[in-house]
Structure 1
């Protein structure tokens, strides 16, 4: 066995073999290790389905690549991967489910995924064994289907070997040690003893520049060996195989296979299997397993079937396929499949470690394996993938994540596979967990909360005493019950004032002799002067946007960096790695995470100065908040009553406003004082949804929407925050890319009952020219609004386009940047 390689891949399931294959194709000397036999984990008992359907833009790309990649494996390797391109019929019993499909189709359109719409009559005519009288319609993917998991894994393994990859079985990893430049990986040779797989006593060591873990159900053991947290925990998934169905056998004498059938409202999939049916339900109550480790006695094993748990889904299959009622059960499977709290895999750098990569938590591993290997290999060998991988990055979860939290959220993710995926959904498991002190005050005022990196954050404020029939939890793909409340909040900010809780912001203090030189190299904009604020960006090695920062400079070499609360650990890991890289060159750099020390309220609106002036304690209170003493984009330490506050003259809503950073332990007192002072001026508490609409009226880009690892600051239209007169990380790569696409704001004459969500396709005539990345309602213009990317020749203000909303095309017009108050008169208003 080799003792030194460029890349070591640990885990020989579908995901691991795909990664090894793609690293081999990139020319890396790669070794794949498997502790048992290839496919011995969840791969062997997977049903092998290849569904395109996914609401995530990045995951849709993974699935799309996989399906296309698998179709060429036989020609390349001579091994048939067992791909049956039968299509995928996703049925809908309700109009809400059809709306879900319309929203999904918008994402599919932007990726180029083929699909067709079908009526109940068309379904019945084509597949007469199906009952369709209670269906609204269906979405049909003609190019996917199902595959044999073992065969496709073996085909990828052979392809990997042909590319020079070495595959070794029966070796278990026992330790990982980072030497400062490479990984030393301790191994044990495994042997079978009494039906168990145990260490033989023979050991070895491999030195690797890079390590990828694709350990599936063993992710918790991997986490312990690495000293990190990996919220990938298996959940039981069971499916049953029936005896041959005579009606199906007769049907197949003259017809092709049925597509993979999905009755999402009944929470199951069904496909043909040797004249019978496979039923795979996603029922409530499926438990998490192996929270800490996989027993040595558990190899290619299964759990006992729990038919009572899936009785409802079984009966609904009989309802949908009446001929299956008299067919007996032939086989059953109940095995562990890894999940994550949001259902997306963990694919990318391991938090806090160098050259350690995770490929864990694949609940749809066969579907995603091909794409996972392709895009992870791009990140590893080229620095970045061609798509933004942030939504899959393992660092999206912070160290606050516990085993209990992950287990309960993973169970929820499993049971929600076929629950309606509303864009405004807020899943309830393991909540509330992280709450700022003002949480109870806000809840008493009718706040309806969402979560940001575990933090509870008000989405909107509904009626404290809800009228009969009002359901805060009623979600919609159109305008939900919350819409009118968010619209009122947005109007209040424009006309009076609003108070927004922004405590979840990530906050890092960076100081020391090397801080200034480091930040000048790390970020694109000129550094602010002492007492001032700047908006700036840190780039990837590919010149695309990795982090958006608000930088506060409080001393010559003393700064605070504020970034997205949803990406706290993700951004922190990037910052810490960059400091470690640059510190030997520029001098000592101190960094401290102060996120939980400081709460943040944003006060914005034309009455904001009047409200603060009643609370400020200053020798000259009448002028303390004037433009002369407190100009736009400046920072001052002030006192609001008894609370010391670091106030920033900025406002994400585009109105006169301040961010009020305060000691977290004084938050409830400050909240009470602000609410009391604001009441006479018409101030209201405001949630995140109204703020999201308001920032689009100002064309303020949002990280994770307009800003990400697939666009440069120049493509995002952020030239004014890029100082080309200095050298900074990623500059040359950014310039080399040019402007491939352009970020624009659009005003949309959409339907009366719906707004765009930020994933819709944009058209000019028959040409698809871009996609939305944000969407919502504009209180200022009385119509829908959106932001997104288009081809450069469609970015000129006044250009007329169309946007696909709920299946139909609606007129949209590209506006100038910041259509509301383009001269920033409100932001700069004096008192």
Structure 2
């Protein structure tokens, strides 16, 4: 057995096997995979093998698309039939709202080139007469996917991996990891059978690997403990039952092909054929998380006790949907662990704080995602970056504040939400509130309806405090929800008057020391600001795409305050810390401190913002303290508001006259009360994130995670003003070599009277797909929908007329100049 390899993959399920295969296919000829038991002995063996194509995530849709196409090639390569039944997938809808969800799914799928058709109840009945359709609104049908045998596809990938030189070692368990500074030393123990259990033997080896990938499935918590990190991947019980033969189905199949996978989302279940009968799988409420602190040694390819009472409603719903199944007996049952994460998406990418350690954990749809995960993760490892932006799946989207209890409860919630309507404005309630700014209670008392950002409670909007009992803030919609009217009022307040926004969730870091200036100059694309000034800048990947967006405030010659997106705190921090460690030997000592929870942030903006602050600022000349002469745009000053010291930054994400007020977090309630009282004379409104999101689109301000990411360069995002090509910076050559493959644009949209785009929709020029939206919303200034997105450069000129797909219809839109509201920035620069 070899003890020195290029890459070591831990875990022999479908995901781990795919990763090993794709690393070898990408050119690494020294890859080993360890499996503690037998291949497929984790969740793979009892998976139902469904291949659900559609997903509202751009990255996940690409991953699923690759998997489905890849699995169809395995037999030709390996000679092994992967058991792929290309029967199609029928997503049925019992309500108009469910159809609207599918229409959003479909438009997102089109951005990735995934085909589909919509079917009426009559069309469904004519094609599949065993399905009851009189209570359906229709269905979304995709004919190129279906289901696959999990064991067969895993074995086919394993054979393909071996053919490409991968060493697959069974009955070896990874028991310790040690980073030498250049490679990983992994202690592996030989596992042996003893009394029906799998137990460690006395035989151990140490394998040295340049890269390690963990795809440990149900054992992710054990992996996390060995690595000293947190991985919010914890299994949840998943039940499905196999029915005896259905005579009506057997008769139907004499002259007809197999039924598609039948998804009755409104009944929280799926059904597919199985040897003349049916398989019913469910995503019910109250399915418990298991193995929160590790998998018992006695648990191998085992199952849990079935809880039929828990799925009785779903069973009865299946009999309603397929009446002939009612007389079928129970043939077999499965209740096994399926790993979940708090948002239902897997954790794929570099491990936090560790070098050359890669995670591929938390796969609730592991068979569907295995092929694509192997392909894109191999790109990240071999080429330095994937061809799509994988940030939405990055393991660091959950910070170190996350606990096992939180992850377990959120994973249970994610499981029961699989078939609950996925409104883009949904807010899930489990484990909330947890991370709260001091002003949380004050804002809640004033009608704040909160959203979750990296665990933080952040106001989405402020509804009426004295709303009647009949008013439900939790009413969601694929059109304009109950919150829409309040966001409109808040946006207008900032455009016409003044508003106050809680931006405490911003990630904030202090970088200082003799090497700080040289490091940041190389690390970021823009010129560094002068002392007392700020700039917007980007840190790039090695491939020249956008890795992180920063606002940098220069406090002193070698002292900088960095502000980045709150949702990406741990993601940005990990990249920053690793880059500093790499740079320090060459540039000198660099001090870095995470001060996110040390400072709160209020953003005040609007034509009357200066007047509000003038009434509370302590200065020898309050009337001029905030003037352009003493406090110009894009500068920062230490000021005093009442008794609160504030690092004030003259910048506003809304595009109005405004300041960010960074203050000691222990003084936040004092400052809130002070500003609220001062704002009464100017009718100041409290404003939430949804209105702010609309306003920033009116200014064409790109947001990280939507317009900005690892699949586009700053030049493709049309941000040359923040890139200084006269200096050398990380990723510069790669950025320039890429050229302009697509261009970020702003569009005004003549859409439905009661709906706005969400930022996941496809764009067309005639019959040609030319791009996609990345953001969407409503413009109070223009009185119509607005969006931002990427289009082919040939269709990026101002004035170009395109169409956006919403609710299965094309709506006209037009590309407008950047910053269509106040393109000269006159309101931001206004003096007083």
Which residue of 2 is the match for residue 640 of structure 1?
A: 641
Query: Aligned to 1:124, what secondary structure does the other structure show?
Result: helix
Which residue of 1 is the match for residue 14 of structure 2?
A: 14
Which residue of 1 is the match for residue 282 of structure 2?
A: 281
Counterpart-to-counterpart distance in 2, 1:805 and 1:644 = 48
**CA-to-partner distance for each residue in 1:681-737, whole Å, 9 max, x for gaps?**
121000000000000000000000100000000000110000000000000000000
Which residue of 1 is the match for residue 434 of structure 2?
A: 433
Which residue of 2 is the match for residue 781 of structure 1?
A: 782
Counterpart-to-counterpart distance in 2, 1:521 and 1:138 = 53
Query: Aligned to 1:600, what secondary structure does the other structure show?
Result: strand
> Structure 1 residue 469: deviation in Å?
2.6
> Structure 1 residue 468: deviation in Å?
4.6
Query: Aligned to 1:297, what secondary structure does the other structure show?
Result: coil
Counterpart-to-counterpart distance in 2, 1:654 and 1:342 = 32
Which residue of 2 is the match for residue 3 of structure 1?
A: 3
1:381 aligned onto 2:382: yes
Spell out the pairing of 1:490-501 with structure 2 (5 A cutoff): 490-501=491-502
1:299 aligned onto 2:303: no
> Structure 1 residue 200: deviation in Å?
1.4
**CA-to-partner distance for each residue in 1:182-210, whole Å, 9 max, x for gaps?**
00000110000000000111111100000
Which residue of 2 is the match for residue 116 of structure 1?
A: 117
Which residue of 2 is the match for residue 257 of structure 1?
A: 258
> Structure 1 residue 156: deviation in Å?
0.1
Counterpart-to-counterpart distance in 1, 2:277 and 2:637 = 72
Which residue of 1 is the match for residue 514 of structure 2?
A: 513
Query: Aligned to 1:827, what secondary structure does the other structure show?
Result: helix
Which residue of 1 is the match for residue 364 of structure 2?
A: 363
Counterpart-to-counterpart distance in 2, 1:821 and 1:470 = 36
Counterpart-to-counterpart distance in 1, 2:229 and 2:259 = 45
Counterpart-to-counterpart distance in 2, 1:468 and 1:46 = 44
Which residue of 1 is the match for residue 135 of structure 2?
A: 134
Which residue of 1 is the match for residue 718 of structure 2?
A: 717
1:748 aligned onto 2:741: no
> Structure 1 residue 467: deviation in Å?
2.8
> Structure 1 residue 465: deviation in Å?
1.4
Which residue of 2 is the match for residue 525 of structure 1?
A: 526
Counterpart-to-counterpart distance in 2, 1:776 and 1:172 = 50
Spell out the pairing of 1:466-481 with structure 2 (5 A cutoff): 466-481=467-482
Counterpart-to-counterpart distance in 2, 1:456 and 1:528 = 32
Counterpart-to-counterpart distance in 2, 1:465 and 1:429 = 25
Counterpart-to-counterpart distance in 2, 1:128 and 1:140 = 16
Counterpart-to-counterpart distance in 1, 2:217 and 2:295 = 10
Counterpart-to-counterpart distance in 2, 1:682 and 1:105 = 43
Query: Aligned to 1:237, what secondary structure does the other structure show?
Result: strand
Which residue of 1 is the match for residue 211 of structure 2?
A: 210
> Structure 1 residue 370: deviation in Å?
0.0
Spell out the pairing of 1:386-785 with structure 2 (5 A cutoff): 386-785=387-786
> Structure 1 residue 20: deviation in Å?
0.2
**CA-to-partner distance for each residue in 1:224-252, whole Å, 9 max, x for gaps?**
11000000000000100000001001111
> Structure 1 residue 679: deviation in Å?
1.4
Spell out the pairing of 1:74-85 with structure 2 (5 A cutoff): 74-85=75-86
Counterpart-to-counterpart distance in 1, 2:470 and 2:711 = 44
1:222 aligned onto 2:223: yes
The answer for unaligned runs of 5 or more in structure 1 is: none
Which residue of 1 is the match for residue 57 of structure 2?
A: 56
Q: Tell me if structure 1 keeps the 8 A contact 2:513–2:558.
A: yes
Spell out the pairing of 1:234-253 with structure 2 (5 A cutoff): 234-253=235-254
TM-score (norm 1): 1.00
> Structure 1 residue 27: deviation in Å?
1.7
Counterpart-to-counterpart distance in 1, 2:544 and 2:245 = 57
Counterpart-to-counterpart distance in 1, 2:639 and 2:512 = 22
Counterpart-to-counterpart distance in 2, 1:795 and 1:26 = 34
Q: Tell me if structure 1 keeps the 8 A contact 2:268–2:314.
A: yes
> Structure 1 residue 313: deviation in Å?
0.2
> Structure 1 residue 58: deviation in Å?
0.3
Counterpart-to-counterpart distance in 2, 1:533 and 1:729 = 21
Counterpart-to-counterpart distance in 2, 1:789 and 1:602 = 29
**CA-to-partner distance for each residue in 1:14-44, whole Å, 9 max, x for gaps?**
0000000000111211001000000000000
How big is the alpha-carbon RMSD for the aligned residues of Structure 1 and Structure 2? 0.5
> Structure 1 residue 620: deviation in Å?
1.1
Counterpart-to-counterpart distance in 2, 1:282 and 1:619 = 65
> Structure 1 residue 170: deviation in Å?
0.3
Query: Aligned to 2:597, what secondary structure does the other structure show?
Result: helix
Counterpart-to-counterpart distance in 2, 1:61 and 1:707 = 18
Query: Aligned to 2:44, what secondary structure does the other structure show?
Result: helix
**CA-to-partner distance for each residue in 1:500-540, whole Å, 9 max, x for gaps?**
00000000000000000000000000000000000000000
Query: Aligned to 1:75, what secondary structure does the other structure show?
Result: helix
Counterpart-to-counterpart distance in 1, 2:171 and 2:51 = 29
Counterpart-to-counterpart distance in 2, 1:548 and 1:830 = 28
**CA-to-partner distance for each residue in 1:296-316, whole Å, 9 max, x for gaps?**
110000000000000000000
**CA-to-partner distance for each residue in 1:87-137, whole Å, 9 max, x for gaps?**
000000000000000011111000011111000000000000000000000
Q: Tell me if structure 1 keeps the 8 A contact 2:91–2:263.
A: yes
Q: Tell me if structure 1 keeps the 8 A contact 2:56–2:760.
A: no
Query: Aligned to 1:632, what secondary structure does the other structure show?
Result: coil
Query: Aligned to 2:628, what secondary structure does the other structure show?
Result: coil
Query: Aligned to 1:622, what secondary structure does the other structure show?
Result: helix
> Structure 1 residue 345: deviation in Å?
0.2
Counterpart-to-counterpart distance in 2, 1:678 and 1:494 = 16
> Structure 1 residue 629: deviation in Å?
0.2
1:342 aligned onto 2:343: yes
Counterpart-to-counterpart distance in 2, 1:435 and 1:212 = 35
Counterpart-to-counterpart distance in 1, 2:262 and 2:105 = 17
> Structure 1 residue 680: deviation in Å?
1.3
Counterpart-to-counterpart distance in 1, 2:468 and 2:384 = 54
> Structure 1 residue 426: deviation in Å?
0.2
Which residue of 2 is the match for residue 143 of structure 1?
A: 144
Spell out the pairing of 1:167-206 with structure 2 (5 A cutoff): 167-206=168-207
Structure 1 moving runs of 4+ over 6 Å? none
Counterpart-to-counterpart distance in 2, 1:404 and 1:556 = 44
The answer for unaligned runs of 5 or more in structure 2 is: none
Counterpart-to-counterpart distance in 1, 2:450 and 2:367 = 35
Counterpart-to-counterpart distance in 1, 2:772 and 2:56 = 14
Counterpart-to-counterpart distance in 2, 1:552 and 1:390 = 26
Counterpart-to-counterpart distance in 1, 2:581 and 2:587 = 11
1:92 aligned onto 2:87: no
Counterpart-to-counterpart distance in 1, 2:812 and 2:470 = 34
Counterpart-to-counterpart distance in 1, 2:107 and 2:675 = 42
Which residue of 1 is the match for residue 326 of structure 2?
A: 325
Counterpart-to-counterpart distance in 1, 2:3 and 2:282 = 45
